[in-house]
Amino acid sequence: MKADIIEVAKRRGFFWKSSDIYQGISGFYDYGPIGSLLKRRFESLWRRYFLGLDDNFHEIESSLIMPENVFAASGHLQSFVDPIVRCSKCGHAERADHILEDILKESFEGLKAGEMMAIIKKHGIKCSKCKGAFSEVGTLNMMFPINVGTGNDVKKAYLIPETAQGAYVNFKACFDVMRRRLPLGLAIVGRAFRNEISPRQGLIRMREFTQAELQIFFDPEMIGSHERFDSIANYKLKLFPVKNRGNQKTEEIQAKEALSFLPKFYVYHMARVQQFYLDILRLPKEKFRFRELAEEERAFYNKYHWDIEIFLESTGWKEIAGLHYRTDHDLAGHEKTSKTSMHVNIDGKGILPHVLEISMGVDRNIYMLLELGYEEEKERTVIRFPRLLSPMDAGVFPLVNKDGLPEKAAEIKSLLEAAGFKAFYDDGGSIGRRYRRIDEIGVPAGITIDHDTLKSNTVTLRDRDTMRQIRVNIRDLSLTMKHFLEGEDMGKLGTIVETKQG
């Protein structure tokens, strides 16, 4: 069993409970210096990849507070609820389906309140705090209401429970300024707020969190096509359909085979999401899958809904993202409530666009990267982040603090930073100890300046994962670092050198 990732994260400067000196509030976390770098790297990589899928995909930024009517139109006022049970003895509240999942190790998403209460009674499940009996299952709306203004000008509003509504209320304005073309993708990377009943597992379930979402608006008549589908037609998707719930089998089929039960537009983006995780983040293939949600599990407006799941040792399969075909639910709701037409005209044809949503929980992805990458080896602790996602690219070390080596190391650090790399200088302790320090926070490269540097204008470049080193000419260092961070094997970048330092 791996170490407690929450404790590791705090000790290494990734994240910790917010306002911890006051014991804080469950579900709120702050990122430390190393975690902030990691999170920004993930967000930047997400932007570069998903906004690069189409030249009409753009990022916007919307308000974190929206008026009540937005959520009347979206359905959040009526249906953004979770099942809740309360202890009849001590009053402790828990989310009903999560209690069942924790104890019975199955998914109970989508069950009705009465069905969950019957299961709780059948298995004699009691309050985790005082062992009292639970009352009937009820519901709790998870939005945070706030009042805006003062006196007679007070207006009821809410902290946004998802970033998606920012794309929907801004769709028409963005369509008009971005040359009136479909598909139009609007991406938002930002905060959302949900009053979770029983937040836990650190970044897995939070009350304030970051989402990276791409809402793709398109002509519904085009759901069966995509102009670049042939580029992924033979690509193999890892799917866990509803029909396999009994045998727990994940299938691997070509994208073109998936067209027997999913439309081309959906399958194309499914392949691109999988490529982000397997080709860009380089996650282990066996720990990735798409999980189909049954009709009773998904939102009523989602015609197709597959979650992206990653297998974690601590939790089993865990949802970290989703791909949802939301039809015209969103724009139709806002059109009706706001009395503003959301229809657009393309070549003389009036269209109410449909929406395909790619939604990722940034914090969940950060937790996932930490747990998958963390290893305790015989002689060291290491976090094997994907090289492009590591908090920093390289540590730069003078072998000793004399003979002009510190000055040369500082020069090389500046050279790397001028080339766009994130590097830091460290001259404290033995070189072996400095290597261990960067291993512990996942920095992929250690660059050491020694006496041979002054003679031959070369440095050693050490790989975090294998601890192998090569000698690199300083004039080639930036290009070598680029290839190394993109995943090139050390043996192809130079000659492996024998060293006594790990």
At 400, the amino acid letter reads V
* CATH number of residue 192's parent domain: 3.30.930.10
d(CA 135, CA 65): 34
C-alpha dihedral sign at 40, 46, 52, 55: negative
Beta-carbon contacts of 492 under 8 Å, excluding residues fewer than 6 positions away, are none
Residue 380: inside a domain: no
Domain boundary residue among 123, 141, 159? 141
Query: In degrees rounded to 5, what are phi and psi of residue 185?
Result: -105, 130
Choose between 198 and 55: higher pLDDT. 55
Kindly list the distances between the CA atom of residue 30 and the CA atoms of 15, 24, 320, 359, in Å, as whole numbers in the listed order: 6, 11, 20, 22
pLDDT of residue 1: 41
The pLDDT score that the predictor gives to residue 3 is: 65
**pLDDT of 343-359, one tens digit each?**
999 999 999 999 999 99
Whether 402 and 319 share a structural domain: no
Report residue 124 as tokens.
């004699």
> Where a domain ends, among 342, 371, 400?
371
Does residue 19 lie within any of the structural domains?
yes
Q: How confident is the model at residue 141 (pLDDT cuts 50, 70, 90)?
A: confident
Angle at 100 between CA 211 and CA 91, to 5 degrees: 90
Q: Could you tell me the two tokens for 454?
A: 């002054």
Q: With bands split at pLDDT 50, 70 and 90, how would you rate the model's confidence at 196?
A: confident
Place of tokens 């809410």: 158
List Cβ neighbours of 56 (8 Å cut-off, separation of 6 or more): 178, 179, 181, 182, 183, 184, 185
Q: Are residues 428 and 280 in the same domain?
A: no
Together in a domain, 334 and 421: no
Residue 379 lies in a domain: no
Same domain, 191 and 42: yes
Q: State the average pLDDT over residues 73-77.
A: 93
Split into its structural domains, the chain has a count of 3
Instruction: Tell me phi and psi for residue 114, to 5 degrees.
Output: -65, -35
Q: Which domain holds residue 122?
A: 81-141
End-of-domain residue from the set 340, 371, 402: 371
Task: Kindly state the average pLDDT of the residues 376-385.
Answer: 94
Q: pLDDT tens digits for 295-310? A: 888 888 999 999 999 9
Q: What is the pLDDT of residues 301-343, one digit of tens each?
A: 999 999 999 999 988 999 999 999 999 999 999 999 999 999 9
Which helix (H) or strand (E) element contains residue 448?
Answer: strand 445-449
Do 123 and 37 lie in one domain? The reply is no
47 lies in some domain = yes
- How high is the pLDDT of residue 499? 63
Q: In this structure, are 298 and 240 located in the same domain?
A: yes
Who contacts 264 (Cβ-Cβ below 8 Å, separation ≥6)? 223, 224, 225, 226, 229
Q: Are residues 258 and 365 in the same domain?
A: yes
pLDDT-derived band of residue 500, with 50, 70 and 90 as boundaries?
low
For 402-439, how does the pLDDT look when each residue is reduced to its tens digit (9 = 90+)?
A: 999 999 999 999 999 999 999 999 999 999 999 999 99
Instruction: Encode pLDDT of 222-280 as tens digits.
Output: 999 999 999 999 999 999 999 999 999 999 999 999 999 999 999 999 999 999 999 99
Is pTM beyond 0.85? Reply is yes
Judge if 409 and 357 occupy the same domain. no
Statement: residue 104 has pLDDT above 80: yes
Q: Assign residue 444 the CATH number of its domain.
A: 3.40.50.800
Residues 310 and 279 in one domain: yes
d(CA 355, CA 332): 11
Q: Are residues 15 and 125 in the same domain?
A: no
Q: pLDDT tens-digit profile of 431-452?
A: 999 999 999 999 999 999 999 9
- How many CB atoms neighbour CB 250 within 10 A? 16
Q: In this predicted structure, what is the pLDDT of residue 2? A: 53
What's the mean pLDDT in 292-297?
A: 91
Mean pLDDT of the chain: 94
